[in-house]
Amino acid sequence: MDLTGYFKAGGLLVGSHAFFSYENMLGYSFKGSDLRTSDIDLVPDTGIMLALPNKEESFKDKILNSSFGFFEVPKLNHKHPSTTFKSKKQDIRLDIITPMYGPTNTKPIYIKALDSYAEPVRFLDYLLDDVQQAAVIEGSGLIINVPHPARYALHKLVVCSRRPAADSNKRKKDARQCNMLIEILKDDDPASIEAAVLAAKEMPSKFLVEAGKSLPLLTLDNQKVLKAYLK
C-alpha cells in the first residue's frame, strides 16, 4: 500500500514501525523480532494535515481498494464507526488514532482530510509537537514523519504504565524500546532527552506520574539519566 500521499500531507507514523525507522536516523541496528508488531499506527496531524491530492479516491478508499485486501474491523460498540483496517492476505493491521483532548471520550473522531475516523488516545499530542522525517529503505524508499526519538521513548513509558496487566508482553516491548533509545541518546544526543523531559513537564501532571510508574522497568543507568532531568 502506497502511503506517500499520507506522509506528504503531514501524517505521522507511531508505534513499532516508527521505532524501527530510528535505525537509519540514529545509525544503529535494533535486534529482537519481539520489538516489532504487525500493527501500523497512523496519526493524522489535524493541525497541519492537508487534503490528500486525489479527491476522487479518499484515503479510506485507497486502503480498502489496495491489493492487501483490507476490511474495516467493527468496534465493540457497534454505534461507533471503525478506525481499524485488517488485511485478509497478510498479518497487517492499520489503526488510525488521534489525540484525545478534554474529558475522556472514546467516540471516534472524523478526520476530513482522510475521509475516515480515528480513535482518540490520551497524550498523543506530546508526540505531535516534535516531528522528524525519517527514511525507510524498502522498495523504492519512502520519507515518513515520526516523533522525535526522545519523545517516543518517554511516551513509551506512559503507554507502558497504561496497558492492562494482560498485555505484559507489550509492556516489556515498550520498556525495551525506551531503554534502547535512551541508551543511544544519552551518549549521542543528551540535550534531546532534556528537551523531551522539559516538554513532558508542560503536559498535564498525569503524564509524568504515569511515566514514573514505568521507570523501574528501565536499567539503573537509564533511570538515573531520566531522574536527573526530572528534578
pLDDT at position 53? 53
**CA-to-CA dists, residue 71 to 3, 58, 65, 66, 231, angstroms:** 17, 15, 9, 10, 48
At residue 112, the pLDDT reads 83
Give the pLDDT confidence of 62-72 residue by residue, as tens digits. 899 999 999 99
Is the overall model pTM greater than 0.85, yes or no?
yes
For the segment 10-54, what is each residue's pLDDT rounded down to a tens digit?
889 999 999 999 999 999 988 876 677 778 999 987 665 555 555
d(CA 71, CA 163): 26
Where do the domains of the chain lie? 1-147, 148-231
| Mean of the per-residue pLDDT values of the chain | 89
Q: Which residues of the chain have pLDDT under 70?
A: 1, 33-34, 46-56, 138-140
- According to DSSP, the residues that pair with 94 across neighbouring strands are 40, 85
Grid-cell match 506517500, residue found? 4
As separate numbers, helices (DSSP H) first and strands (DSSP E) second, the chain gives 9, 9
Q: Are 94 and 70 in contact (CB under 8 A)?
A: yes
pLDDT score for 27: 92
Strand partners, 11: 44
